[in-house]
């Protein structure tokens, strides 16, 4: 890997980890045509103490996108995946407007959706400026960790 590319990927991983800490996300996986990043946080705290997390595992697969197994359903281009299993919601309440719609340009930090897991509402936010190409999940449906939620185009 070229040194500049390695530095760029390392900076992206650091940025993603910071967002994970802020949002209390335990696991994140991002696949792009250039690389695949999978980050897991491990909680090193004892009960009744401040929660401190550290990176347990980071894997970068540069061969991602070069060849795929036949019969594997996939979305072309980049996607945002669910970091957890739960129920996908496009708005904060049934009467509220949707967070995003197809074609919307979304700035870094904007909430894309909510995933309810064990009665906890987890906001999924954009980690960079993107255009939402398509929404791949139906509102109110159960989703799995690692499932594609949005097809995106980086801006």
Question: Mean pLDDT in runs of 10 for the chain (155 residues)?
Answer: 66 73 74 67 49 46 44 63 93 92 94 91 92 94 93 91
Res 114: pLDDT: 94
Domains along the chain?
1-65 (no CATH), 77-155 (2.40.50.100)
Pairing of strands 120-125, 86-89: unpaired
Beta strands in 2-104 (DSSP E): 27-31, 36-43, 53-60, 78-81, 86-89
């Amino acid at each position: 890997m070229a040194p500049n590319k390695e530095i760029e990927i390392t900076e992206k991983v650091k940025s993603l980890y910071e967002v994970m800490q802020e949002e209390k996300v335990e696991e994140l996986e991002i696949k792009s045509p250039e690389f695949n990043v999978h980050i897991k946080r491990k909680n090193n705290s004892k009960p009744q103490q401040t929660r401190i997390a550290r990176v347990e595992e980071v894997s970068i697969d540069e061969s991602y996108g070069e060849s795929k197994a036949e019969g594997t359903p996939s979305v072309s281009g980049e996607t945002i995946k669910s970091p957890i299993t739960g129920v996908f919601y496009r708005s904060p309440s049934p009467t509220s407007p949707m967070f995003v719609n197809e074609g919307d340009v979304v700035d870094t930090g904007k909430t894309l959706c909510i995933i309810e897991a064990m009665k906890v509402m987890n906001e999924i936010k954009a980690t960079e400026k993107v255009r939402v190409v398509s929404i791949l999940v139906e509102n109110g449906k159960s989703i799995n960790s690692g499932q594609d939620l949005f097809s995106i185009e980086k801006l």
